[in-house]
Every structure is written in C-alpha cells, then in structure tokens.
Amino acid sequence: MSSLVLLDGASMWFRSYFGVPNSITAPDGRPVNALRGFLDAIATVITRERPGRLVVCRDDDWRPQWRVDLIPSYKAHRVLEEQPAGEPDVEEVPDELTPQVDMIFEILDAFGIPTAGAPDCEADDVLGTLAAREKRDPVVVVSGDRDLLQLVRDEPVPVRVLYLGRGLAKATKWGPQEVAETYGVPLDRAGPAYAELALLRGDPSDGLPGVPGVGEKTAATLLAQHGSLEHILAAAKNPKSKMSKSYRTKLLAAIDYIEAAGPVVKVATDAELDWSTPSDVLPLAAEHPRKVAKLAETYGVTSSIGRLQKALDGLDG
C-alpha cells in the first residue's frame, strides 16, 4: 500500500549538517555537507518507505509568538536576534548551514518535490495538520524530534514516526504500542498521553520548565493511574481523591503553567498550509531536469541527485 511520508525538514538538515563532514564542499569551496546529507536522506527514506506522496514540512516560524505569549521561556535560549512584533525572531543557526537551506529549497523546487509551511507555525504544526487530515493512506512522519511521538495513532489510518534520534541508519518506527511500552503511558491514547507526559516532565531543549518535582517516571505513573492530564488535575483538585499529598501539592502549585503549556506542547492540527506545488504527489522525475542538473553541478551534488533519481526509479511500477 502506498504511503504518505512527511519529512521534518529542519530536523533532517540540522542532523545532516552535524552528521556529514564540513569538508564536503561545492566546486567554489562553499560547504554543502547539509545539502548532500539531506538529499541522501530523502533517497534513503524513499527507498525504505516507497511512498506515493511526500511533503517536506517547513519551519515558516520556528518560535511562534502565540506560543511565546503562553510560555515566555519557550525556545528563548535559541534566539540570536529579536525582531519587531509580527516578524519571527532570528534563530541561532550555524553560519555555514543557513545558505545550504536555501540550496535545499532551490533543488526541491526545481525537482518539484512538495514542501508545505504555514504562517505563524512551526514544522511540527504542519506535520500535525497533514497527519490529522489524512484519511486514506498510512502516514510516516520522519523526524529526530521526540515531540512528534504525540502523532502516533492506528485509526482512521496508521500514523507512525520514523525516529532519527540515533541517525537514519538506526532509525526505528514508533506507533502507539512502542510509545506506550517505552514511556508507560496508556495504550489507547498513547499519542495524546505522550504530549501530556512531555508537558508534565518539561523539555529543557525547548525551554519548557515542566512541573517542578515531576520527572518522566512520575508523569508516567500519574498518567497510568488516572488516564489523562484532565483526570490528573481533577484528582489534584479533589481533596477526597486518593492522590498523595506530595503530588497534589506539586500539581496545584504549577496549575498556571499546566494550563498555559497545553497549546505550546501539543502540535496544531488546523494550520493554514502554504504549498510549493499543486499536490503532494511525489514526482518520479525532475520537473525541471536542466535546472536540477545545473544546480547539482554548481553545488557539487551530482552523485546525490543520482541517488535520489535511482530511489525514484525504484518506485516506477
């Protein structure tokens, strides 16, 4: 059965940048390690998953103001330069990576490989929206971001996360079963429960403080006992519940954070998408072959383009 593959673009090219030596350069000396690594990763995913549809999801706003308004510390440690109201802050990104992101989009556009973003939204929200909308084909989300484990589900179509935490070669596919077994959350709502666990636990990499004194194990225990964050809070507020005084005190002290953090931690599923192509169908050949060939020569990635085309050729028929 054909699948819909959703790529977390920024997660993948960051990993390519740090995973491929910066000695890989274009003929004019510019580094192209992220570009080459990203193109090779797409070829590998296509060969592995054999999708009929594929979307590279964009971070059109890596730190949306509406999330910052709720949790001011959200990704604050990654801000390189603050911008006027209404404009995204500038993210701290390695100097050699930024130009390569432009190169990646040049080649994706010339090839006709679909990309999608959304105003005031992160790539996570685009991934969440596309996964939530899909009612026909199985979905595979490719990312090194554990936050996206919240998307796993079995119905109406399977949504799995190909998690790149240990690299693409060792990538593992996560569904509700794997998330429930690994994190101790309820199987019947493993995806949403993972988001609630992340909210309670916190995430220093995103500037989310979590509930003081509640780590991953405690969060999992509470979710296993009560089933959902809503029921956990109901028990904390009910003096007659069997919740321990220690847990009750910690949760009630953090109630403002818990209520604010929900929309920050949970990905949006209703983003207004902006597409680079008319559809999400994966082309079997470059839309503008001469332009692709010229860009490949300019950037010194002819071999990577060859590997990508070979992967696409494997889908034909």
pLDDT at 37 over 90: yes
pLDDT at position 137 is 98
Homologous superfamily (CATH) for 4-183+268-313 = 5'-nuclease (3.40.50.1010)
What's the mean pLDDT when you consider all of the chain? 95
Confidence of residue 148 (pLDDT cuts 50, 70, 90): very high
145 token code pair: 């971001």
Q: Give the helix/strand (H/E) hosting 44.
A: helix 33-49
Q: Domain ranges in the chain?
A: 4-183+268-313
pLDDT at position 78 is 86
pLDDT in tens, 149-202: 999 999 999 999 999 999 999 999 999 999 999 999 999 999 999 999 999 999
Q: Which long-range contacts (CB under 8 A, 24 or more apart) does 85-91 make?
A: 88/60, 88/61, 88/62, 88/63, 88/64, 89/63, 91/62, 91/63
Measured between alpha carbons, how far is 214 from 171 in angstroms, rounded to an integer? 29
Confidence of residue 90 (pLDDT cuts 50, 70, 90): confident
Confidence of residue 81 (pLDDT cuts 50, 70, 90): confident
Q: Give residue for tokens 């979307």.
A: 55
